Amino acid sequence: MTPRPATEGAVQPPALTIDALGRKCPIPIIMLAEQINQVPLNGIVAVLADDPAAFTDVPAWCRLKSHHHVASYELPEGGWAIHVRRNY
């Protein structure tokens, strides 16, 4: 999967941003799992992460939990904003 720039394809702004920069996996996923229900159905959660494992693990978690990985955007300072749509 190739990350896209943060300005490309932005459709819906995140309802919640989780700052997991500097934290190793599985912490970004744990933070996402604990907080995803704070956004309304179909809302977007942006997980900010710079651990390379998060780049693949967050989309895998989405598939496992039936949420939608919208896109991963490169951050100018390094890392990604990984957007997840809450499905239930």
| Residue whose C-alpha is closest to residue 47's, from 23, 65, 63 | 23
Q: How far apart are CA 42 and CA 55, in angstroms?
A: 21
Marked catalytic residue, from 20, 25, 48, 49: 25
Q: How far apart are CA 84 and CA 54, in angstroms?
A: 13
Q: Catalytic: 62?
A: no
Q: Which residues are catalytic?
A: 25
